[in-house]
Amino acid sequence: MTKKNLELLFRSFEQKRIAVIGDVMLDKYIFGKVERVSPEAPVPVIDVSSQSYRLGGAANVATNLRSLGATALLFGVIGDDDDGAILASQLNKEFLSADFLVTEHTRPTTAKTRVIAQNHHIVRIDSETRKAISSATERTILALLSEHLHTLDAIIFEDYNKGVLTAPLIKKIIALAKKRDVPVTVDPKKDNFFEYKHATVFKPNLKEISDAFGRKFTNSDSDATLACQMLQKKVKAETIVLTRSEKGMTVFNGTAEHIPSMALEVADVSGAGDTVIATLTLALSAGLDVISAAKVANLAAGVVCAEVGAVAVDKRKLLSACTRYFSSVPTS
């Protein structure tokens, strides 16, 4: 791809509408100093200096899509609580709509609070339930999605096993997408791992695929190929994209192509998987073949891994990385 072609590709992202369906989360950070130990127990006392909020889970996928210029429709579930209100407010700050989030009064908003002092992670506090959403909530999500399905270029399932993506909901959404010829990409977790049958792209990591099959796959190319072959037979996805940390990723759609990692420096891998599924889906919806789309997604992971914390990919940095990479690749 030439620089001009890449620029046209990145401009075309602005015309795309992608639905993200899954577990939305609020990431809360409390920063402070430790200067004493509590007299009540042998634990540090944190003198809080500041707090901040970030969007996590499916909401981070939507943030990455928005950062790349696309319109992201975020479907998920929050609680009727302060964390839900904060999450909705954070979406607004990121120019994302909370209109497709369903409030379920019997469950808390998924929130992860990290306490950090003197640049050390002291503790993480999770407020969540892994209980499946109600059938009424399933119907509401399905109805909301159905209203907008004809406007979509792709659907992303972002599963963190927090109960939003139930087996019945997964099957109904994939069936609807197939009728409308809307591509479906999947970022799975262990529960319901094999329920995403006939997806366009299925993107696990090495641990997830090992957990699902109950066997240890090594990070060798041969094991990666075997894992992809086994998985494709099981879920019948068009393409398997297996992410492999420092080894990059393997793309399998009958044959395997191993794409080396493109991270030049790794400061933090948090949120890299969210960036990969967002970029991969967006690039596919813009017309790239799956191998080229995977390479762009791999470069996007490299960009965010150079930052601290779960951050959305910077569009200009990704375009620069793609320009450097594809200009160095010899044409056949």
pLDDT digits (tens, 9 = 90+) for 289-303: 999 999 999 999 888
CATH, domain range 3-25+56-110+129-328: 3.40.1190.20
Using 50, 70 and 90 to split pLDDT, how confident is the model at 61? very high
Backbone angles phi, psi at 123, to 5 degrees: -160, 155
Helix axes 272-285, 58-67, angle to 10 degrees: 50
CA dihedral 182, 186, 191, 194 (to 10 degrees): 70
User: What are the two backbone dihedrals, phi and then psi, of residue 9, each rounded to the nearest 5 degrees?
Assistant: -60, -50
Question: What band does 116 get if pLDDT is binned at 50, 70 and 90?
Answer: very high
Query: Residue 308, Cβ neighbours under 10 Å: how many?
Result: 10
- Does the pLDDT of residue 267 top 80, yes or no? no
Per-residue pLDDT, averaged over 87-116, amounts to: 96
> Catalytic pick from 27, 221, 274, 289?
274
% pLDDT > 70, the chain: 95
Q: Is 126 a catalytic residue?
A: no
Cut 0.75: pTM above it:
yes
- What is the per-residue pLDDT across 199-219, written as a single tens digit (0 to 9) for each? 999 999 999 999 999 999 999
Q: What is the pLDDT of residue 304?
A: 84
Cα angle vertex 289, ends 67, 151, to 5°?
55
**pLDDT of 20 higher than 60:** yes
Other Cβ atoms within 10 Å of 148 Cβ, number: 13
Report pLDDT digits (tens) over 43-59: 999 999 999 999 999 99
List all residues 6 or more positions away from 173 whose beta carbon is below 8 Å from its beta carbon.
Answer: 21, 142, 145, 155, 157, 184
Where in the chain are the domains?
Answer: 3-25+56-110+129-328
Residue 237 to residue 229: CA distance in whole angstroms: 11
284 class by beta-carbon count within 10 Å (0-12 exposed, 13-18 middle, 19+ buried): buried
| CB 284 within 8 Å of CB 203 | no
Say yes or no to pLDDT of 123 above 80: yes
161-173 pLDDT tens trace = 999 999 999 999 9
What percent of the chain has pLDDT above 90?
A: 85
Angle between helix 290-305 and helix 272-285 axes, rounded to 10 deg? 150
